[in-house]
Structure 1
Amino acid sequence: MKYLSTRDRSVHMESAQAIEMGLSRDGGLLTPERIPQIDQTFLESLVGVRYQERAARVMGLYLTDYTEAELLTFAENAYGPEKFDTEAVAPVRTLDDATHCLELWHGPTSAFKDMALQMLPQLLSAALKKTGEDKTACILVATSGDTGKAAMEGFADVPQTKILVFYPKDGVSKVQEAQMVTQEGKNVGVCAVVGNFDDAQAGVKRIFSDEKMRQTLAERGYFLSSANSINWGRILPQVVYYISAYCDLVRDGKLNMGEKVNFCVPTGNFGDILAAYYAKRMGLPVERLICASNRNDVLTDFLRTGIYDRNRPFHTTMSPSMDILVSSNLERLLFDLSGENDAEVRSYMESLTKEGRYEVSDSIKAALREQYWGGFCDEAGTADAIADFYHHKGYLIDTHTAVAAHVMEQYRAATGDRTPTVFVSTASPYKFCNHVLAAIGGTPKGDGVELLDQLHSATGVPVPRRLAALKGKERRFHLDCEKAGMDGVVLDFLR
């Protein structure tokens, strides 16, 4: 399987090289030249097997230069009991006959990013060997809260790698920040950026496309790679859990094989819902993809109008991992829906850079209407959803999951669609204790890790053990910078 750049179809490379590179040198995203197809027989073969085997089988369809034995070993390492607190890895919780929740936060950092970032370091390490690379990979990460910790957890002390994470100063939860600034490992670094996530993300992309920077780092024995969802090695492991969720529902008698489902996904950077789109394109029986945004509703407007416009106020919300106005992975969707028209995609991205907006073609607008439904949830709606699910359904959810739950009900009210729906739970409620406590009627006493015990006392829900271990842990990193100074931070880190 070859991989192409969304901005230049003449770029062709094997999957190992695509994972190693992370982002195409022309600024485009590397994407598979075709979407492998699965059928009912394939799905039936996965129903009775463990998550690790499902992961190896699905990923093997795309990573043709990796062996099945390699991928199974990686999956066993990534999703074993020492990393995940449930044998199911990504369990599906049924709330009623038509409503199910896919829990993606049972890994080491209590967020869905673990599903990919426990796998990516192994894929990258193998890629370095396959390509004969002798330089050290420097993983640059911009995070809106969860990717940073999950990436550091995955890459900590991995040979031939270093990882540097940028996060928006005052733009993540206290628990998320505590997870990052206390991270152990000799090869990790963290820096807060004065600004928002889009500023951090733009800075990382700028550094990737800076030829002079790449040359300087090469002379020092480094090359840049990415652990953000711009790296195909991040998106592919996420495709797996949608297919796995479907197989679990069939196994448990909640669905008949071939019956369609909806997926409702809370997303800011569009990576998580893009993975669901790829699963559907492969042949998974999916009816509608419901895109759930918070008050930063740029994706909702885009899906409804075909106009992407980042020229709007930026809101800091209780669901900070979705506080994003530039959704990088939308580029891969546009590439697919345009028939892999790299010139068309390039024109959209140039317009976004110059004017902060673009409008897609009528054919793409029609495809968006057919595939997606977009909705958003304000702060009051988020809190109401947390309260409703806790008090009436006995289910404690975090602020991002609450956005999905709220938008799912919006969709049902607007369309009358009663197709069985899986909404995606992306983080443990313990990562956002203050907002969850307030939503269920409590009064938070503090704003950091001291709230873990308070939320536990109020609900009886167990605290994930690695979050509990944050209490009293010493802070290692104190660095911050202006967005224009990110280049200097990278150069200092890689001396």
Structure 2
Amino acid sequence: MATFHSTRSHTHSYTAKQAIRKGIADDGGLLVTDSLGERQVDVASLIGKPYKDIAYEVLSVLLPDFSEDDLRDCIDQAYGAQWDDDRITPVHDLGDGDYVLELFHGPTCAFKDVALQILPRFMSYAMKDAGGAERVMIVTATSGDTGKAALAGFADAEGTGITVFYPQGKVSHVQELQMTTQRGANVRVCAVEGNFDDAQSRVKEIFADEDLAQALRMDDHVVLSSANSINVGRLVPQVVYYFSAYAQLVESGKIALGDRVEFVVPTGNFGDVLAGYYAKLLGLPVKDLVVASNSNNVLFDFLVTGTYNRQRPFYETISPSMDILVSSNLERMLYYLCEKDTRLIQMLMNDLNHWGAYEVPPQLLQRIRAIFNTGWADEDQVRAMIAECWKEHGYLIDPHTACGYFVMHEMPHDEDTPRVLLATASPYKFPRVVGESLGLDVPESDFACMDLLAEHTGTAAPQMLRDLEQATVRFTQSTSVEGMTEVVRDAADAL
């Protein structure tokens, strides 16, 4: 049976269910398993299968202590009528060997739904195995999309509560409304006076606060866990859509079984592209993984130079979900590519904590560069790509996907290798930016922007986004970074 431990030590080991329940290791590291890649997924057996069956084949390898009945129950609940396409993550053909993997057909119109519709089900089974006496409080920082997707997944889920922090004024209006109008007796949403990295760092400190953990357990019978991709239960469902994309391409005759594919991934926190690396370790024919950044291009600089430096200007961009300078999931990638050297990871993370930067050894950078390529787009380039993709293909993309679209077309390309761009959100989550990029005279209201965009392009705004105009705002609380702990205490008391 696969066990999980911290990227920074082997002090404790956990089953998959225990790792999901825990979220993050006591020493601040992320939970990983050394057996990753020992069992392969039979790619040939996936061709022609529906998404749910592909999910079972992949997740049964990654989460081996879930029984078949438990895992299939989680999958059935997660990928049902709440999706507007029965393929869950369909592939769209742009022509000339380029494809878009659409990850926005779930209930909140963002790629986070793929994982956050199933994580609450995982958590439920993990809690049952733990005896069910305690309740779980999910505490999550979001740069835009994780918050709503987590809220939608955990709202009124038995035995759980959820507290979401988002950077005040640094998410789109639609993203903010999606969170602050969320229904559910067990949810709490709070703005933070700072950026995403400030909120995320504080959340990690909250998880590491042993006194707080003991107080919550004694007073409220509550344990803390995470819905960010630092939680292995959030990360591994994302591996599935890489296999699904490949199976769809083979099934449609676009590629032959065994052909290698390049994936281009817009990412800030590195979880989405790390899932592609996991897929590669499980046997998917991945040629390379391209990390696309926006103006907060800390990942680009790291992948080029081997130096990770968060001591740099922070830019508020039109692709706000990628406005991140501390990419948590990078630590997992480093662990696997440094040959599982926990002492090295501990040293690098200590350097990041104390000095705001670290530098990896040259041989490690060489291994990283053999798998991960990179590029970035500035604000003008993002806007230009939204317009170009619409003009050239009649296909509407959001500003995050546009970062990837720019990088995909700027980098040298082997014409024999198909390229799959991950589309991370509906363009209607950012109607103002998309409308302006198309040269439209956009009105002040984001909802009027949606209507104008729909009229101009002949596309339709997802109903759950358009309905936000009439939704009642439930949460208006804001806090300093230092005050986040008290917000969590209050939420646990009310659970």
TM-score by length of 1: 0.97
AA matched with 1:130? D
Distance 2:318 2:143 in 1: 12
TM-score by length of 2: 0.97
Structure 2 residue aligned with 1:309 = 309
Structure 2 residue aligned with 1:382 = 382
Are the counterparts in 2 of residues 78 and 119 from structure 1 also a CA contact under 8 Å?
Answer: yes
Distance 1:226 1:467 in 2: 26
Structure 1 residue aligned with 2:72 = 72
Distance 2:124 2:414 in 1: 48
Are the counterparts in 1 of residues 101 and 421 from structure 2 also a CA contact under 8 Å?
Answer: yes
Deviation at residue 449 of structure 1 after TM alignment = 3.2
Structure 2 residue aligned with 1:340 = 340
- Map of 1:121-200 to 2, 5 A cutoff? 121-200=120-199
Deviation digits for residues 151-186 of structure 1 (CA, Å, limit 9, x no counterpart):
000000001100000000001000000000000000
Structure 2 residue aligned with 1:422 = 420
Q: Identity, % of aligned pairs?
A: 46
Distance 2:347 2:7 in 1: 11
Are the counterparts in 1 of residues 192 and 480 from structure 2 also a CA contact under 8 Å?
Answer: yes
Distance 2:176 2:323 in 1: 16
Structure 2 residue aligned with 1:278 = 278
Distance 1:54 1:320 in 2: 31
AA matched with 2:21? E
Cα 1:37/1:252, change in 2 over 3 Å: farther
CA RMSD of aligned residues (A): 1.2
Are the counterparts in 2 of residues 38 and 284 from structure 1 also a CA contact under 8 Å?
Answer: no
Structure 1 residue aligned with 2:395 = 395
Are the counterparts in 1 of residues 97 and 415 from structure 2 also a CA contact under 8 Å?
Answer: no
Are the counterparts in 1 of residues 376 and 403 from structure 2 also a CA contact under 8 Å?
Answer: yes
Deviation at residue 432 of structure 1 after TM alignment = 0.3
Structure 1 residue aligned with 2:435 = 437
Distance 2:27 2:415 in 1: 42
Are the counterparts in 2 of residues 57 and 68 from structure 1 also a CA contact under 8 Å?
Answer: no
Deviation at residue 127 of structure 1 after TM alignment = 0.4
AA matched with 1:291? V
- Map of 1:5-404 to 2, 5 A cutoff? 5-37=6-38, 42-80=42-80, 82-219=81-218, 220-404=220-404
Cα 1:291/1:418, change in 2 over 3 Å: farther
Equivalent in 477, 480, 484 of residue 478 of structure 2: 480
Are the counterparts in 2 of residues 270 and 329 from structure 1 also a CA contact under 8 Å?
Answer: yes
Query: Which residues of structure 2 form unaligned runs of 5+?
Result: none
AA matched with 1:299? L
Structure 1 residue aligned with 2:3 = 2
* Greater mean deviation of Cα atoms: 140-149 or 281-290: 281-290
Deviation at residue 324 of structure 1 after TM alignment = 0.1
Cα 1:152/1:39, change in 2 over 3 Å: closer
Distance 1:343 1:231 in 2: 21
Distance 1:127 1:162 in 2: 15
Q: Aligned to 2:64, what secondary structure does the other structure show? A: coil
Q: Aligned to 1:455, what secondary structure does the other structure show? A: helix
AA matched with 1:470? L
Distance 1:144 1:447 in 2: 22
Distance 1:211 1:197 in 2: 23
Deviation at residue 418 of structure 1 after TM alignment = 4.8
Distance 2:120 2:171 in 1: 24
Q: Aligned to 2:397, what secondary structure does the other structure show? A: coil
Distance 1:469 1:364 in 2: 49
Are the counterparts in 1 of residues 43 and 283 from structure 2 also a CA contact under 8 Å?
Answer: no
Are the counterparts in 2 of residues 140 and 164 from structure 1 also a CA contact under 8 Å?
Answer: yes
Are the counterparts in 2 of residues 37 and 283 from structure 1 also a CA contact under 8 Å?
Answer: no
Distance 2:96 2:410 in 1: 18
AA matched with 2:134? K
Distance 1:443 1:9 in 2: 58
Query: Which residues of structure 1 form unaligned runs of 5+?
Result: none
